[in-house]
Structure 1
């Protein structure tokens, strides 16, 4: 079979794949997300980079991609690559969007030629110990984050099927897929322009004031503070450089079942557009759960 041609207009980026969320205490963060009704993977260490993570895998929206929340903590600060030192520090919350590409080397060339200052891809092979089953070894090539209005990096999977175990994709809260990364900007239209150029598509403004742009199906949606507060019913995060990550939108099969689970676990939530959990319960992230649509 011939490989799929690279999309040059999006610099080889095919999908917004997952969201890297920094947490200071990985155990506590895992407990918090379990209270939200998510099923998490076991802890995995990327020893060469001094980091550890747990994932909330969901159902991919694009072939070849994954779809998950990554809770990431520091295991050994002395081993952190320079681009990760700033990312894995400060307040908890989303620190980077991770884009999927089918060819990291080709995407790197296109991005650098277009003025995005990425270092060459790093190849990572890490052990993932599955209790009672032994170990598997995910492999990927990654372009580490660069300065941008909202930091992002790029990943090519070599065995994405390891992230797609059916038992990990079924969640007590009925979560199906990550639909969007949510950000706040003092000027959402201007902030979206950077990503329009990156993805090679125009942003779409919705009735709630969000400006949505995507290289595939999972979106980045940017709101100005007043529109954010009207949509989510909680204060907008401070956007120190004019734009900041705020949270995520997730599709669920059954909002009533989700609400009952949150009530049983003592997690405060509000019904605004969807069911909204504020940052105090989700490691610095607003999470909006919306009903899955066909």
Structure 2
């Protein structure tokens, strides 16, 4: 079974979105441009995963531009999520044998400043397995990093808010049960829970990935729940991060003027302060 690798959060203004995540207490790296894909990003690194705030999608390759730009019908937000792979050609053949239609393998290389002042370049390859129509933003892809030392740099994983790792990802979908087969094929395992309104997968690292129906948004996120945008059939709506100390995170958010709903065991930040994503901090 595969685990979460990274998250592509599409935004229309990279400066504003980057500043928003800095106010949330993340160490967001400078702007980098994908040499072959054309888009640009700012990322923050975590244990085992990284979060990519991606922009200039209108400058990207047509196979990305034409598929990603309609995401903005519902504003900024999660566009596509990558799972892990240690052998892309093998996994591409496996996915194709399951009846899915993987794209060619691409190189998402980009320059990255290293802590010693030098500049290196990532060597990360991936392939997309797009879904059509209204389910396009319930798409996953697979990535392999041939230079992991440029992707996971310990000093870049130290965040003022104390964030350590991603523990959860939530999608909203007009038909969660209809997403089960695709997600099961991509994760390489069946869901641990499934009903007409909610489907859940748990990765080998213990990350919880849920797909829920729109009526469950308020139950899950309370006053921070975003409105359901029915122009799309589904999309990523929330991320959960484990932090070192919830009190420290609480204080930082207050200092930076970021409203958070304090539920005691978790802090819930409305999507309006997460560039379209609900963010929760847990200890």
**Which TM bucket (shorter chain)?**
0.7 to 0.9
CA-to-partner distance for each residue in 1:123-155, whole Å, 9 max, x for gaps?
Answer: 343322348712111102110351264012111
Could you tell me how far 1:53 is from its partner in structure 2? Answer: 0.8
The correspondence for 1:38, drawn from 9, 26, 30, is 26
Distance 1:55 1:123 in 2: 17
Structure-2 residue corresponding to 1:220: 209
TM-score (norm 2): 0.87
The correspondence for 1:54, drawn from 31, 39, 42, is 42
The correspondence for 2:273, drawn from 259, 268, 281, is 281
The correspondence for 1:81, drawn from 59, 62, 65, is 62
1:267 is the counterpart of 2:248:
no
Alignment coverage as a number of residue pairs? 270
Distance 2:31 2:52 in 1: 11
| Structure 2 runs not aligned, ≥5 long | none
RMSD over equivalenced CA pairs, Å: 2.3
| Structure 1 runs not aligned, ≥5 long | 1-9, 61-66
TM-score (norm 1): 0.84
Could you tell me how far 1:276 is from its partner in structure 2? Answer: 0.7
Structure-2 residue corresponding to 1:23: 11
Distance 2:242 2:43 in 1: 17
Could you tell me how far 1:178 is from its partner in structure 2? Answer: 1.0
| C-alpha contact (below 8 Å) 2:167/2:242 kept by paired residues | yes
SS of residue matched to 2:211? strand
1:107 is the counterpart of 2:98:
no
Distance 1:98 1:219 in 2: 14
